[in-house]
Amino acid sequence: MEYQIESHIMPVFKYITAIISLFCAFTCVQAQVDEQDVGEAIAKLESVIGILNDSYIENIDVKKASENAIVAMLQELDPHSVYIPAEEYSKMREPLRGNFEGIGVRFDILRDTIIIISTIVDGPAEQAGLEAGDRIISIGHETVTGLGLTNQEVVQKLRGVQGSSVDIGIRRSHSNSVLHFNIVREKIPLYSVEAAYMESPTIGYIRINKFSATTIKEFRLAINELKVQGMEHLILDLRSNGGGYLTAAVQLADDFLTKDQLVVYTKGRSFDAKEYKATSRGTFEQGKLVVLIDEGTASASEIVAGAIQDWDRGLIVGRRSFGKGLVQKPFHLADGSAIRLTIAHYYTPSGRSIQKPYTTDKTAYFNDIASRYKRGEMFNASNIQNNPNKKYYTKTAHRVVYGGGGITPDVFVPVDTLLQNPYLLSLEHSNAINHFALKYVNIHRDKLIIKYETADNFYHSFKIDNRTLHEFTASAILKGVKHDEDEFKKIKELLKTKIKADIARNIWGMSSYFKINNQYSTAYQKAIQVLQRVEPYAALQMKSE
């Protein structure tokens, strides 16, 4: 028997991935899959693994080989069908479940010292007596100062199985003694409603950062609180919301639509078409509505935006959304890993799929945002490349909308070029703004709380003076950011706003942060203008009559 030797032998796993790729190409993506072909492909795979295991020059890691084969198979499909190893799957599900197991603190690290920014209301840490501003000296009787720990390493030390306990040593301001707290870990909520506040006596604002199992409960609590404060109109912020559970998106859209209005429908090769309709339980079926979107708005967020737009329920403001119109379902494997497989397309009420094009070469798909910048779409609506063959009409006002590439906003807002300032980008990349704000609050927390008392007072009265701004630039230099006076002058007022917002976040939370930071958002200001004008809504109403 002859043996052929090559100087560039293909690694063993390449054989497996090649076989699986062929399996995908000729069976998985066909409208009708031949069971005999599937059986033969599986038998071939088993044979190859057996041959490699018996005869290859070195021992084979069969588990690694099988995982690589699965990854290669899914790479031949759409961009969102992926294999998730067992050790990653639980972590990936955590944000969408809406909780984790821990002690319930939000912290940051300042000069190798862990500082508690806030405690979760009624969480274990708060109940034990930990306070904002406390410095964590030890976790589980292990010193954690001066070690250069990362945020993730601290998280791993603080989290643990529900019911387990951990000793936390802290030092408070104006005290050199270390206080010890034994805290029993519990389930801690992860909030998807990131901020909610009143912008004016009649305009409310709610920001949702993902669609989780608890989103609708959080949203209804927030919107009812705003109604009590006099809210009549709403800005719903879905910018950079990458999606989540389809059912959560349907529930949210239901709160804006009337009974029996279609929210979305799904169709797949192996799954029957299914319609999702609004019920009679909507919490905000009246009142003007603006939905903020951008290129980071995807999946479940696009379901909500598409339903609002197709029923002419409100206006979409911002930039074209990501364009993900595929539905995934997790399939669990025996070892705790999973395949998140695309099983269907979803369609907005007008019948459009907003999925942007893709091929087996995923590079162009995931570089699409960069391509939008290059062709000028992020700065001028006329550069949006809508497909004229995928023209649809809204259900009520019969306005033209497009499929095949995200949700095109009703009111376009270009990228703010000031946010692309190179000096500002350097400050943000080095985390200099947040670092300075944390240091500032660490020194002035008690005085700020006494002087301003409430987040609203701070919003209206606190100013970043030139002395503080000088201290900031000096701090940024120590963080490695070279000062650029010309660029600094261009963003001086924006910097004041950002520093103020970060200070507010460290004392009064995320709602205060967004209320301040949004004042420099051109999309946010446009949303307010739209809500204050009668014309856009009057035009919609005339077309619907």
Q: Which residues are catalytic?
A: 299, 324, 328
Give dist(CA 308, CA 321) in Å, integer. Answer: 14
Within a 10 A sphere around the Cβ of 110, how many other Cβ atoms? Answer: 15
Query: Is residue 295 within 8 Å of 415, Cβ to Cβ?
Result: no
Compute the chain's Rg from CA coordinates.
27
Give dist(CA 505, CA 503) in Å, integer. Answer: 5
DSSP string, 22-49: HHIIIIITSSS--HHHHHHHHHHHHHHH
Amino acid identity for residue 175 in this structure: S
For every residue of 309-325, which 3-state class applies, written as one string? HHCCCCEEEECCCCCCC
Give dist(CA 45, CA 39) in Å, integer. Answer: 10
DSSP string, 172-215: -TT--SEEEEEEE-EEEE--SEEEEEESSSSEEEEEE--B-TTH
Give dist(CA 97, CA 162) in Å, integer. Answer: 15
Query: Is residue 367 within 8 Å of 322, Cβ to Cβ?
Result: no
- 399-412 b/e (C-beta count within 10 Å ≥ 16 → b): bebbbbbbbbbbbb
Q: Which residues make Cβ contacts (< 8 Å) with residue 236, sequence separation at least 6?
A: 206, 208, 289, 290, 291, 292, 304, 314
What DSSP state is assigned to residue 84? Answer: E
